[in-house]
């Protein structure tokens, strides 16, 4: 027959009973039960004061109770969380402040604890960010200093239609300028969208994109039809360079919110998905607070640019400059040099001071300097 196993409560009771009998000293009983003399005397005192019930484990400190007030605030938070599944504790507290301005609000950490307990959020691993030190001319100080461009990766609706979205955002104010569906990654689609945005909001001082099609090419300066067109409009082109701290991290964070609020779940058909895509910027700009803007929506900070979109004309070069008309299919040395400079799809003219273009046979891409980029004319 096996020995009977005693739990902790039974052992405390046996210790107290033997101390009451007084047959063994407290030191011997402490060694027998593997506790200190202080613990043995405490069990004895609790047993004499309340009997067997006094030896039951009790919660230390202040009792943790869920008051009606906490239940009310937790219910409000969870109710709105269902309407905005991508919002965290900070934005939910901002919403409470807007709707209950005269009441004492729960702390942000309290709301975060409620979300964790209810399984609405999970801790995220902190990632290292690229350091500062941008080696560019235009710095971000006010709206329209830098616009960021990027494509939201392809996704499919429930009926199998592929959708690609081009997004544009102002870096300083976090104002989303456009979420436009495009059929393919083409320069024509980017120029058409930019033309509408430039006429509506004005020109930015710089644009920032990743090193992908159709923004960046394979030449030493990474220029394409789109980037050359931006430069002719007087806009600085900035490509993402992680090693130099030039990044698009805030734009990618906006894509994460876009995915959570627009693409989860995807719509049943293309028309329904496009309606959600077109309505989302207004909610992001006017009804969603931003952490870096002191919990205010971006619409309060954005203002249109005073720079108007100019009309581009065919470039006129000085008479003493040498001008060459080049097509990439011509097979000439100038065509090869122009291909390393940029990747235009149409015929272009290249002009420079003599004697750079006097001897096309000896012309190399290393002879080209960045200042010549402004002398490339597209027709």
Does residue 91 form part of some domain?
Answer: yes
> Given this model, what pLDDT does residue 195 score?
94
Does residue 313 form part of some domain?
Answer: no
> Given this model, what pLDDT does residue 238 score?
87
- Residues 171, 72 share a domain: no
Q: Determine whether 226 is exposed, middle or buried from the number of CB atoms within 10 Å of its CB (0-12, 13-18, 19+).
A: buried
Domain end call among 265, 300, 335: 300
- Give the domain CATH number at 213: 3.30.420.10
- Residues 337, 268 share a domain: no
- Residues 110, 210 share a domain: no
- Residues 253, 190 share a domain: yes
Tokens of 1: 């027959």
> Given this model, what pLDDT does residue 282 score?
95
- Residues 175, 106 share a domain: no
> Given this model, what pLDDT does residue 220 score?
61
Does residue 258 form part of some domain?
Answer: yes
- Residues 215, 290 share a domain: yes
- 357 vs 243, 317, 329, 334, 368, CA distance in Å? 35, 14, 19, 9, 10
Domain count, the chain: 4
- Residues 294, 167 share a domain: yes
- Residues 235, 195 share a domain: yes
- Residues 285, 196 share a domain: yes
Q: Is 163 in contact with 156 (CB distance < 8 Å)?
A: yes
Q: Is 307 in contact with 202 (CB distance < 8 Å)?
A: yes
Does residue 255 form part of some domain?
Answer: yes
> Given this model, what pLDDT does residue 136 score?
64
- Residues 284, 249 share a domain: yes
- Residues 286, 229 share a domain: yes
Nearest to 285 by CA among 268, 261, 314, 311: 261
Does residue 179 form part of some domain?
Answer: yes
Q: Distance (Å, rounded) from C-alpha 39 to C-alpha 52?
A: 16
Nearest to 196 by CA among 185, 182, 215: 182
Domain range enclosing 370 = 322-378
Does residue 132 form part of some domain?
Answer: no
Does residue 287 form part of some domain?
Answer: yes
> Given this model, what pLDDT does residue 227 score?
87
> Given this model, what pLDDT does residue 3 score?
44
Tokens of 177: 């300028």
- Residues 45, 16 share a domain: yes
> Given this model, what pLDDT does residue 370 score?
40
Per-residue confidence in pLDDT tens, the chain, 379 aa: 344 456 777 888 888 888 888 888 888 888 888 888 888 888 888 888 877 777 776 656 665 656 778 888 888 999 888 888 888 888 899 999 988 988 888 999 999 988 988 888 877 776 544 333 334 667 788 999 999 999 987 889 998 899 999 999 999 999 999 999 998 888 889 999 999 999 999 999 999 988 888 888 766 667 788 888 898 898 988 888 755 556 788 898 999 999 999 998 899 999 999 999 999 999 999 999 888 888 899 999 999 999 998 887 776 777 777 666 654 443 444 444 444 444 544 545 566 555 554 444 444 444 443 444 444 444 4
Does residue 45 form part of some domain?
Answer: yes
- 114 vs 56, 67, 88, 157, CA distance in Å? 30, 14, 11, 34
Domain end call among 55, 76, 91: 55
């Amino acid at each position: 027959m096996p020995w009977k196993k005693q739990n902790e409560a039974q052992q405390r009771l046996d210790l107290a009973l033997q101390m009451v009998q007084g047959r063994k000293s407290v030191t011997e009983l402490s060694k027998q039960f593997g506790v200190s003399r202080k613990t043995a005397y405490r069990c004895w005192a609790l047993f004499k004061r309340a009997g067997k019930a006094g030896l039951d484990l009790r919660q230390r400190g202040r009792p943790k109770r869920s008051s009606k007030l906490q239940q009310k605030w937790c219910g409000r938070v969870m109710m709105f969380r269902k309407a905005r599944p991508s919002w965290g504790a900070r934005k939910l507290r901002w919403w409470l402040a807007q709707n209950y301005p005269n009441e004492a609000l729960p702390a942000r950490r309290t709301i975060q604890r409620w979300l964790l307990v209810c399984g609405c959020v999970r801790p995220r691993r902190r990632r290292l960010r690229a350091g500062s030190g941008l080696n560019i001319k235009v710095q971000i100080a006010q709206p329209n200093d830098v616009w960021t461009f990027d494509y939201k990766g392809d996704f499919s609706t429930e009926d199998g239609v592929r959708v690609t979205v081009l997004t544009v955002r102002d870096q300083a104010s976090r104002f989303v300028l456009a979420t436009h569906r495009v059929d393919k990654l083409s320069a024509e689609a980017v120029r058409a969208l930019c033309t509408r945005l430039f006429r509506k909001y004005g020109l930015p001082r710089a644009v920032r994109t990743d090193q992908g099609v159709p923004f960046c090419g394979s030449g030493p300066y990474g220029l394409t039809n789109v980037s050359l067109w931006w430069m002719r409009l007087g806009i600085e082109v900035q490509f993402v360079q992680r090693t130099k701290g030039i990044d698009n991290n805030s734009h990618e964070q906006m894509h994460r919110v876009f995915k959570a609020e627009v693409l989860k779940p995807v719509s049943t058909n293309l028309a329904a998905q496009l309606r959600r895509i077109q309505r989302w910027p207004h909610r992001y700009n006017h009804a969603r607070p931003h952490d870096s803007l002191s919990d205010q929506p971006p619409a309060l900070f954005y203002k249109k640019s005073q720079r108007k979109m100019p009309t581009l004309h065919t470039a006129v070069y000085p008479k003493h400059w040498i001008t060459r008309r080049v097509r990439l299919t011509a097979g000439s040395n100038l065509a090869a040099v122009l291909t390393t400079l940029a990747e235009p799809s149409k015929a272009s003219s290249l002009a420079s001071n003599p004697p750079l273009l006097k001897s096309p046979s000896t012309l190399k891409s290393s002879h080209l300097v960045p200042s010549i980029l402004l002398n490339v004319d597209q027709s």
